[in-house]
């Protein structure tokens, strides 16, 4: 089904994709890093084809719904004109952003789990196990997230494609979205190639990664302490003072912006404060480094 959709996309919009492909060059790295097995030209064709399909489908569906409910006048015209354009625009945007976000997600997962994976690799390689078996052991440890998936690709290159350990590692190093992991893999392959002591190199990487992890954790805890002070000031102390002030004003009487003090208290309690708390939680989630 997906292959047929790709063929249709290229058939109808392949020539347009060729003309516009320079504007989408930035997606090529994300497509490779996110392991979406699609050429840039094909993905651009899919974006254009899906945008047109979503426009036509939404236009037809909305027309049927509006006709069934006997909608007329400005509501009918505005909905039938602007809603399909909005849906098509969102489709275009989502398909454009998808590889970028997937690539970022893989990168983040690798860098979060890398210190622990390196510590495990250090313990394994110190026992004298060959590098390819070191990566094979990581493939069964799903708690290492994308590091396990990257190791699985290295093992696939060796066992399925018949590559040497060095070629298999370099192939994954070229495609990985994490610059840090790329440098580590490149260093491992060069150490193997030159006949160096791989256990010493991996041990150095593991010590440095754990040290950097502790530094990042300490920095984030300090930042989190600052956020806690801001939260206490803006979303605990300030609302309490405002509610106390509104309570006093309620005894005096009068309105503020057409609202009574009781209405303002209800508005703050059930709308403003919950919304501000949700925004704060979203902000904390977005700034969380995953350590």
C-alpha to C-alpha distance for 30 and 270, rounded to whole angstroms: 43
What is the chain's mean pLDDT, rounded?
A: 86
Whether 216 shows a pLDDT value over 90: the answer reads no
Same domain, 95 and 132: no
**pLDDT-derived band at 95, boundaries 50, 70, 90:** very high
Same domain for 235 and 258: yes
Of residues 202 and 252, more confidence is placed in 202
Spell out the residues 6+ positions from residue 155 whose beta carbon is closer than 8 angstroms to its own: 132, 135, 136, 139, 168
- Residues contacting 190, CB < 8 A, separation 6+: 196
Residue ending a domain, choose from 106, 135, 168? 106
Q: Could you tell me if 52 and 120 lie in one domain? A: no
Residue whose structure tokens are 């399925």: 160
pLDDT per position as a tens digit, 151-179: 999 999 999 988 888 999 999 999 899 99
pTM: 0.75
pLDDT score of 70 more than 80 = no
Which of 56, 71, 106 represents a domain boundary (last residue)? 106
Which residues, other chains included, contact 234 with Cβ-Cβ below 8 Å and sequence gap of 6+? 276
Mean pLDDT of the 179-203 span: 89
Distance CA 32, CA 239 (A): 49
Joined tokens for residue 257 = 């912006």
At residue 13, the pLDDT reads: 86
In this structure, the answer to whether residues 280 and 207 fall within a common structural domain is: no
Query: Is residue 223 a contact partner of residue 241, using CB atoms and an 8 Å limit?
Result: no
* pLDDT tens, residue by residue, 223-276: 888 999 898 988 888 888 888 888 777 777 667 766 777 878 888 888 888 888
Print the domain residue range for 227: 222-287
pLDDT attached to residue 46: 93
Q: Are 92 and 84 in contact (CB under 8 A)?
A: no
125 within some domain:
yes
Q: Are residues 242 and 272 in the same domain?
A: yes
- Both 102 and 120 in one domain: the answer is no
State mean pLDDT over 192-200.
85
Q: Determine, yes or no, domain membership for 185.
A: yes
Task: Decide if 99 contacts 31 (C-beta within 8 A).
Answer: yes
Considering the domain architecture, whether residues 66 and 100 belong to the same structural domain is answered as: yes
**Gap between the Cα atoms of 47 and 16, Å rounded:** 11
User: Are the C-beta atoms of 31 and 40 separated by less than 8 Å?
Assistant: yes
Is 217 inside a domain boundary? no
Residue 272 is assigned to a structural domain of this protein:
yes
Most confidently predicted of 67-71, 74-78, 192-196: 192-196
Summarize the confidence of residues 78-87 as an average pLDDT. 86
Of 79, 85, 74, the closest CA to residue 63 belongs to 79
Q: Of 189, 212, 235, which residue is a domain's last?
A: 212
Return the DSSP state at 36: -
16 vs 2 pLDDT, higher one:
16
- At residue 49, the pLDDT reads 93
Domain count of the fold of the chain: 3
Long-range (24+ apart) CB contacts under 8 A made by 94-102 are: 95/43, 95/46, 95/47, 95/50, 95/51, 96/27, 96/47, 99/27, 99/30, 99/31, 99/34, 99/36, 99/43, 100/27, 100/30, 102/30, 102/34, 102/36
């Amino acid at each position: 089904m997906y292959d047929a959709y790709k063929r249709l996309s290229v058939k109808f919009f392949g020539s347009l994709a060729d003309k516009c492909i320079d504007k989408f060059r930035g997606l090529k790295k994300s497509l490779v890093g996110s392991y979406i097995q699609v050429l840039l030209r094909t993905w651009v064709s899919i974006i254009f084809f899906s945008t047109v399909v979503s426009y036509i489908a939404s236009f037809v569906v909305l027309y049927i719904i509006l006709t069934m409910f006997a909608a007329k006048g400005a509501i009918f015209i505005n909905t039938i004109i602007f809603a399909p354009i909005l849906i098509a625009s969102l489709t275009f945007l989502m398909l454009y952003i998808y590889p970028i976000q997937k690539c970022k997600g893989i990168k983040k997962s690798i860098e979060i789990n890398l210190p622990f994976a390196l510590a495990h690799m250090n313990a394994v390689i110190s026992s004298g196990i060959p590098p390819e078996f070191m990566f094979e052991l990581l493939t069964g440890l799903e708690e290492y997230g994308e590091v396990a998936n990257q190791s699985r690709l290295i093992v696939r290159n060796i066992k399925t494609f018949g590559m040497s350990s060095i070629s298999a590692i370099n192939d994954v190093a070229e495609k990985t979205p994490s610059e840090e992991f790329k440098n580590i893999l490149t260093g491992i392959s060069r150490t193997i190639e030159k006949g160096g002591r791989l256990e010493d190199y991996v041990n150095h990487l593991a010590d440095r990664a754990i040290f950097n992890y502790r530094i990042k954790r300490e920095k984030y805890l300090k930042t989190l302490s600052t956020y806690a002070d801001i939260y206490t000031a803006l979303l605990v102390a300030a609302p309490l003072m405002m509610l106390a002030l509104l309570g006093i004003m309620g005894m005096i009487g009068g309105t503020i912006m057409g609202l009574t003090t009781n209405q303002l208290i209800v508005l703050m309690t059930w709308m403003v404060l919950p919304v501000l708390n949700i925004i704060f939680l979203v902000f904390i989630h977005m700034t969380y480094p995953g350590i």
